[in-house]
């Protein structure tokens, strides 16, 4: 019998997948607004992008509340311990079939590299995409907010840079889900909440 740990709570799993869907939809509609390709048409792309953005705002309101009340926010406190080990594992160990150097527990579900990555998300990516996005949502109010001369080009470009960062994050994040003891182990855990211990 394989030992199992209940890592991801029900809300956490809902948050994760809802957010995943919204972010991918935002990327799709966002790049259409950017003029990269055409699918919904500009007007509907803007409308859908706006709806998805507000949905994400709503989701985040709950997520922030949940993290604060459950104390789960501590999971994101960064650490530099054993980072080198992690890097060495992904660069070499993984190919030799070595065991993952990090053991997930309920109290510590993110490995040190993950913690650093999420710190980057919180400190760079989110402020960039949300600040610029918030301004774009309220494009009509810049003057009344005291920014009559704010350049749309600047704000839009910042938003695009943010979007590309999210795209890069997404690629790496999705790939790293396959690095569990089986390729689908992490994804299974994110669906059921249970991670098998090996």
Applying CB under 8 A, does 141 fall inside the site for other proteins?
A: yes
Identified binder of other proteins from the candidate list 1, 37, 146, 175, rule CB under 8 A: 175
Identified binder of other proteins from the candidate list 171, 184, 191, 192, rule CB under 8 A: 171
Residue among 7, 19, 101, 91 at smallest CA distance from 58 = 19
Applying CB under 8 A, does 33 fall inside the site for other proteins?
A: yes
Q: Tell me which DSSP letter residue 81 carries.
A: T
Integer Rg of the chain from CA: 19
Q: Residue 175 and residue 111: Cα distance in Å, rounded?
A: 15
Q: Residue 12 and residue 18: Cα distance in Å, rounded?
A: 10
Applying CB under 8 A, does 168 fall inside the site for other proteins?
A: yes
Applying CB under 8 A, does 94 fall inside the site for other proteins?
A: yes
- Using an 8 Å Cβ cutoff, are 136 and 155 in contact? yes
Applying CB under 8 A, does 42 fall inside the site for other proteins?
A: yes
Which residue ranges make up the site for other proteins (CB under 8 A)? 33-35, 41-43, 46-47, 90, 94-97, 138-141, 151-153, 156-157, 160-161, 164, 167-168, 171-172, 175, 178
């Amino acid at each position: 019998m394989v030992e199992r740990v209940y890592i991801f709570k029900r809300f956490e799993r809902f948050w994760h997948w809802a957010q995943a869907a919204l972010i991918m939809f935002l990327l799709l509609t966002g790049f259409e607004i950017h003029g990269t390709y055409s699918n919904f048409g500009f007007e509907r792309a803007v409308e859908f992008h706006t709806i998805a953005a507000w949905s994400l705002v709503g989701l985040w309101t709950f997520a922030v509340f949940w993290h604060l009340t459950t104390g789960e926010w501590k999971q994101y406190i960064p650490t530099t311990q054993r980072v080198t080990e992690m890097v060495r594992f992904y660069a070499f160990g993984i190919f030799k079939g070595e065991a993952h150097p990090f053991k997930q527990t309920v109290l510590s579900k993110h490995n040190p590299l993950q913690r650093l990555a999420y710190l980057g998300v919180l400190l760079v990516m989110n402020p960039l995409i949300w600040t610029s996005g918030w301004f774009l949502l309220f494009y009509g109010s810049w003057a009344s907010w005291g920014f009559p001369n704010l350049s749309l080009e600047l704000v839009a470009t910042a938003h695009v840079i943010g979007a590309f960062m999210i795209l890069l994050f997404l690629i790496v994040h999705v790939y790293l889900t396959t690095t569990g003891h089986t390729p689908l182990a992490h994804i299974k855990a994110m669906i059921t909440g249970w991670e098998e211990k090996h």
